[in-house]
Structure formats: structure tokens, C-alpha cells
Amino acid sequence: MKKILKGARVIDPNRKVDEVRDILVVDGSIAAMEKKINISGAQVIDLTGLILTPGLIDMHVHFREPGYEYKEDIETGSRSAAAGGFTTVACMPNTKPPVDNAMMVEYVKSRALKSGLVRVLPIGCVSKGLEGKEIAEMGDMVEAGAVAFSDDGRPVADSSLMRKALMYASMFDRVIIDHCEDPGLFEGGQVNEGYISTLLGLQGIPASAEETMVARNILLARETGTRVHIAHVSTKGSVELIRRAKAEGVKVTCEATPHHLTLTEEAVVGYDTNAKMNPPLRTKEDVEALLEGLKDGTIDVIASDHAPHSIDEKDVEFDKASFGIVGLETSLGLILNHIVGEGKLNLGQAIEKMTIGPARALGIDAGSLTIGKPADITVIDPDLEWTVDKNKFFSKGRNTPFHGWKLKGKAVLTMVGGKIVYADENISDDNINRAEILKASYK
Ligand SMILES: NC(=O)N[C@@H](CC(=O)O)C(=O)O
Ligand SMILES: [Zn+2]
Ligand SMILES: [Zn+2]
């Protein structure tokens, strides 16, 4: 089966491409990329006026299966990813039981294959049972297909364990992704420590809870010559530490979430539990430092930290509510509207942080448009205006602080290995070819 994706503005930051091109997809792979491609018998999809990028990658999501399927499962999480424009996601192992052995890695892979939508890459635990005591069987998990290791939801608190884990993971050429939060400094914390925490009478989480752990990880990566990735960076001090470490040649990469880039701690005034997450929303100064870090390359990746919870877990007193928000279906829109639209990054830079940036941080062969490689492609309508409606999410999670936000820019078509896994209902039907996309949608 041949498909021609016609007339889109192709942006591939890895290849420094930004021009109108046609793309030929044959048997699931990219067969050609030219100014004009015309082949008889091929299905032509007219994408004039739209933007085509390598399939977006979200290297930090929680799909909750097994154990917490009431929050999300791999099928609904995959749908949510496809609808958000993501072709590849890396899935955190804080499930029940946790993904800390080869069998569990196989399980996640097989569930993802069964839903057959996006590529779900399992991340294995650093420590057995996420207990932070004993290193998990990393070698076995690598063989089974673990793409990275993390105890996310918790830090690897024991520095000696972290040091061993870094060295062990590097033998398999895998990265450790650390949730940086010193347990002692975090203890009982609910929101950022400062004026707002005092005002609301909630226990604060100081910036130092994150920064001490970021600094420790940098020291360990430098000493051992290994690679480390810092999850969801939220403070100015962390950005400064990582910037300096990179300048010194330490192999550290990091990510920021759309919510830490667009919201401040003010969002929790009124005790909105949908603004409760880990790390907490911080100050305007921190947000500005994150934006600066994105711009100068200190922050490599934008990742959603998609963390679905049930209504029961959020519709309770603030201090009892679970930490985390869903992100897959709002990530791209927030970045296009608030980061690109407000001139904080150009479009190419933003796409880079969602394609080749995460591919490099994970060390996977993806995130670029390559002849002969699988056609993982995202098509974006930069002008489409839409309103976030949590009740329309493909995710089971409704926990978003962005409900009702008006955004401009959205993924309208997601292709994985040449197969259309999502096509937006908003695609206009004045054109036969676009109508065909709609038919191909699983909705
Ligand atoms: N981010 C969150 O607030 N919650 C995440 C855990 C995590 O990413 O640390 C979750 O699993 O719910
Ligand atoms: Zn985390
Ligand atoms: Zn997480």
C-alpha cells in the first residue's frame, strides 16, 4: 500500500529541514521525500497548509497497567497518546506490581502491541519493588526491551545505590531517569514552599528538595562518567546546576513538562487539586528560568508526565489528593499556543524538544524522518483553535488544570509505521482526501 502525504510544510529539526515536501510511504516505511511526488495508484492525502513532523515522542508517561487500570490502561493511554500526536511514549514502571523484572517488561510490550496504536517503550525500575534497597535485574530487563530505568514517583534516595545503578545501566547503554526529590526535605509537602504555601496553610516543598538531588546526580554522573536524565525539572536552581554541568561535559540531560512551563503556584489558590503535582508548580521566576533553559539547550526534552488519577483520588481535601495530572492530549497545544505562540521558542526548537530531543536522551533510533525507516509521522494544524474539554479525553483521566483553556494548534493526524492511528474530527471535509483521513480514524 502506497500513500503520498502531499503539500505539508515538513519540519525535521534533526535534518534541519523546513520546507514544503511530499512524502511517499510504502509498506509502512518512508520511501521518498521530494518536492513533488506523483505515483499512480497511491492514496494521496492532501496536507496543504499543515505541518508535518517526525512522530512526537513523550518519554515520561504513566499508563498504570497492571494494577491501576481504573486510572488508565495501556489501551486508553495509547489512544490518548495518538490523539495528542504522539507516536512513541516511554512508560514509567510505578505500576502494581512494579515493572522490575523481564516478565513485566514483556507484559507491557505485549499489551501495547495488542492495542496496536503507538509504540510503548517500557521503562524498568532501578530498584526491586521500587523500594530503593536493591538494584533490580537490569540486564534481564534490557534483554526483554526496557528502554531506560527509573523509580519515578520516588527518587533513588540512596546515593550509593544510585551510583551503582548508574554504572550498571551504562554497561547496557541505558540511561537512568531520576525523580529528584530529597525525601527528608519533601516530607509531607503539598505545594511549593513560599508565600502561597503560607497563605493556604499547606506544607511547603522547598526548591532545595529537588536541587540537592539534581546536584548529587550530577556529581555521581561526573565521577562515574555515566549518563543521567533528570525528570520534570521545576526550579531555577536545577536549571543552573544542569547548565553548569553540561558546560563541564557531564552527560546529563533533562526534561520539563508543559505544566511547569505554563503555570505557577498561583494555580493552587482555591485548593484546586488539579494543580497538585510532583514536583509542585513553582514561581514565575522558576518558569522564566525553565524557558531560558529550553531556549539555550539546557533542557533537552518536553515530556508530559501524563499521570492519570480517578475522580475519587482528586475530589478530596487538598492534602489527601493524589499528585499528578494528565498531559498527553494537552501537551502539544500548550506548547504551540503558549511557548511558540508567545515567542518563547520557535516552532523548530519546540518540535526538536518533542522528537529528536527525547530520542537522543533515551538513545533510541527515532525522532527524525529517514528514508527506509518506519513512517512515524505527526501532522499539525497550527491554526486550529480548540477548547480543552476533559470530558472528551481519550484518557480515562480527567485530572487537568487546563479544562476550558482555548488553544491554537493541534495534532490532526498521527501515523505509526505508515498506519493512521488518529485523525482529527475537525479536519475539514471540503476536500475528498481529507475526508478519507477521517474515515481512517478509529473513532
Ligand atoms: N507527577 C506526579 O505528580 N505523579 C506521578 C509520579 C511522578 O511523576 O513522580 C504519578 O505516578 O502519579
Ligand atoms: Zn516523578
Ligand atoms: Zn512521572
Closest atom of ligand 1 to CA, residue 308: 12
Helix (H, G, I), strand (E, B) or coil at 66: coil
Q: What are the b/e assignments for 166-200, b being 16+ CB within 10 Å?
A: bebbbeeebbbbbbbbbeebbeebbbbbbebbeeb
Q: Whose CA is nearest to atom 6 of ligand 1?
A: 153
Atom of ligand 1 nearest to the CA of 152: 9
For residue 248, the tally of other CB atoms under 10 A from its CB is 10
62 marked as binding residue: yes
Instruction: Say yes or no: CB of residue 152 within 6 Å of ligand 1.
Output: yes
Phi, psi of 141 (to 5 degrees): -70, -35
**Residue 7 CB neighbours (<10 A):** 18
What residues does each domain of the chain span?
A: 2-52+373-440, 55-362
Q: Is 281 in the pocket of ligand 1 (CB under 6 A)?
A: no
Q: Does the domain made of 2-52+373-440 have the CATH classification 3.90.1150.10? A: no
User: Residue holding cell 525507516?
Assistant: 373
Find, among 68, 81, 37, the residue nearest to 303 by Cα. 81
Q: What is the pLDDT of residue 424?
A: 83
Amino acid 296: pLDDT = 98
Is 179 annotated to bind a ligand? Reply is: yes
98 pocket-lining for ligand 1 (C-beta < 6 Å): no
Pairing of strands 301-302, 377-387: unpaired
What Rg do the C-alpha atoms of the chain give, in angstroms? 21
CA pair distance 23, 102, nearest whole angstrom:
38
Q: What is the pLDDT of residue 426?
A: 54
- According to the annotation, is 315 in a ligand binding site? no
pLDDT at position 437, please? 41
Here the cell at position 279 is 514536583
Residue 309 among known ligand-binding residues: yes
CA diameter of the chain = 68
pLDDT (tens place) for every residue of the chain, 443 residues total: 899 999 999 999 999 999 999 999 999 999 999 999 999 999 999 999 999 999 999 999 999 999 999 999 999 999 999 999 999 999 999 999 999 999 999 999 999 999 999 999 999 999 999 999 999 999 999 999 999 999 999 999 999 999 999 999 999 999 999 999 999 999 999 999 999 999 999 999 999 999 999 999 999 999 999 999 999 999 999 999 999 999 999 999 999 999 999 999 999 999 999 999 999 999 999 999 999 999 999 999 999 999 999 999 999 999 999 999 999 999 999 999 999 999 999 999 999 999 999 999 999 999 999 999 999 999 999 999 999 999 999 999 999 999 999 999 999 999 999 999 999 875 443 333 443 443 333 32
Catalytic residues: 305
210 lines ligand 1 (CB under 6 A): no
Domain made up of 55-362: CATH architecture = Alpha-Beta Barrel (3.20)
Residue nearest to atom 2 of ligand 1 (CA): 324
* pLDDT value for 425: 73
ipTM tops the 0.90 cut? yes
What is residue 313's predicted lDDT score, i.e. its pLDDT? 98
Between the CA of 341 and the centroid of ligand 1 the distance, in Å, is 28
* Cα 217 to ligand 2 centroid, rounded to whole Å: 15
| Amino acid 1: pLDDT | 84
Interstrand relation of 119-124 and 377-387 (parallel, antiparallel or unpaired) = unpaired
Nearest to 401, CA basis, from 272, 233, 269: 272
Identify the residue whose C-alpha is closest to ligand 1 atom 4.
324
Q: Is the CB of 62 under 6 A from ligand 1?
A: yes
**What span, in angstroms and rounded, lies between the C-alpha atoms of 203 and 190?**
6
- 415 has which bridge partners? 377, 420
In terms of C-beta distances under 8 Å and separation of at least 24 residues, what long-range contacts does 350-354 make, across chains too? 350/302, 351/11, 351/13, 351/53, 351/54, 352/13, 352/14, 353/294, 353/299, 353/300, 353/301, 353/302, 354/56, 354/57, 354/58, 354/301, 354/302
55, 307, 361 from 410: Cα distances, Å: 14, 21, 25
Strand, coil or helix: 302: strand
Residue 64 annotated in ligand binding: yes
Helix (H, G, I), strand (E, B) or coil at 232: coil
Cα(264) to centroid of ligand 1, in Å? 18
Ligand 1 pocket, 275 CB below 6 A?
no
d(C-alpha 194, C-alpha 430), whole Å = 53
Cα of 361 vs centre of ligand 1, distance in Å, is 20
Whether 252 and 221 have beta carbons less than 8 Å apart is answered as: yes
The partner residues of 120 in beta bridges, in order of sequence, read 89
